[in-house]
Amino acid sequence: MPRDDFVLGSLEGQNVGGVTVAQDAVQHARRSAPYWEWVQMYRRGIEPAKIAGVCGAAVTTVRYHLQVAAKADPGLRGEHAAAVPLKVPSETALQRMHDLVSFFRVEGRLPAAHAKSSTEQTLASWLYRRRRESAAGTLSPALREGLGVIPGWDQTSPRKAQDEARWKRRLKEVRAFRKAGGELPRHQKTDDPLERTLGVWLHSQRINYNHGKLAPEKKSQLDKVIPGWREGRQRRGGRRRDS
């Protein structure tokens, strides 16, 4: 029995955050998003990571289902935030907030994760966690108010935004390559630099997918834009051609 089915099966009938895990929960991996029990658990203030742990699912999958649900129900995140017990920041958290504000006022920028200074690295790591809490609606109101003096503090980091833009660009380039030549790009046995670049990118998507590291929304885009991307080039004589 797959791990997800085993875990959910063992939880059948149990009450988690006011939601009883139903018998059909073992089918969640084959359901279209959003899965209603995950949405109900989230609505009651349970964090995605805990939902994933309880149900034996990948946290990226749970977050994807919740994103779909939030688009259909804009008030979902607000209900989640209201259901989460109020967090009182520790003295350490308040000091980190003041240190971050001071850093911004002196340097005119936010701390970088790859800075040479260990102090700056610590502030960058702390800010990253607060951003995630803010996106999930679980950030302490006191910290949100204090960080509010920094414009755009809760925005996605430039590097992450650049990585996302590069991923989307590669997706379009692979589609254009296939449309022009009728084949998917190869990551080896080719002298074309562009084909190799695109082939390596596509090969890495397959590796991430096979290891369960590919985000569901990215898999959906690949399935839609590049049908057959997981299988590679068409087979000849019973063997798959290099891709």
pLDDT at 22 over 50: no
Domain finish residue from 51, 83, 115 = 83
Q: Which candidate, 42, 46, 50, places its Cα nearest to that of 73? A: 42
Domain identity same for 8 and 66: yes
pTM over 0.85: no
pLDDT at 205 over 50: yes
Decide if 40 contacts 19 (C-beta within 8 A).
Answer: yes
Q: Quick check: is 56 in a domain? A: yes
pLDDT band at 103 (very low <50, low <70, confident <90, very high): very high
Decide if 76 contacts 42 (C-beta within 8 A).
Answer: yes
Domain finish residue from 44, 66, 83 = 83
Least confident of 24-33, 71-80, 99-108: 24-33
pLDDT tens digits, 150-181: 988 888 666 776 787 889 899 999 999 999 98
Domain identity same for 7 and 69: yes
Q: Quick check: is 153 in a domain? A: no
Domain identity same for 163 and 230: yes
d(CA 39, CA 126): 28
Residue 121 belongs to domain spanning: 91-147
Q: Quick check: is 152 in a domain? A: no
Domain identity same for 143 and 167: no
d(CA 24, CA 156): 37
d(CA 41, CA 48): 9
Q: Count of domains in the chain?
A: 3
Q: Quick check: is 208 in a domain? A: yes
Tokens of 54: 């309880």
Domain identity same for 79 and 95: no
Domain identity same for 224 and 162: yes
Tokens of 109: 């920028």
d(CA 19, CA 41): 6
Res 53: pLDDT: 84
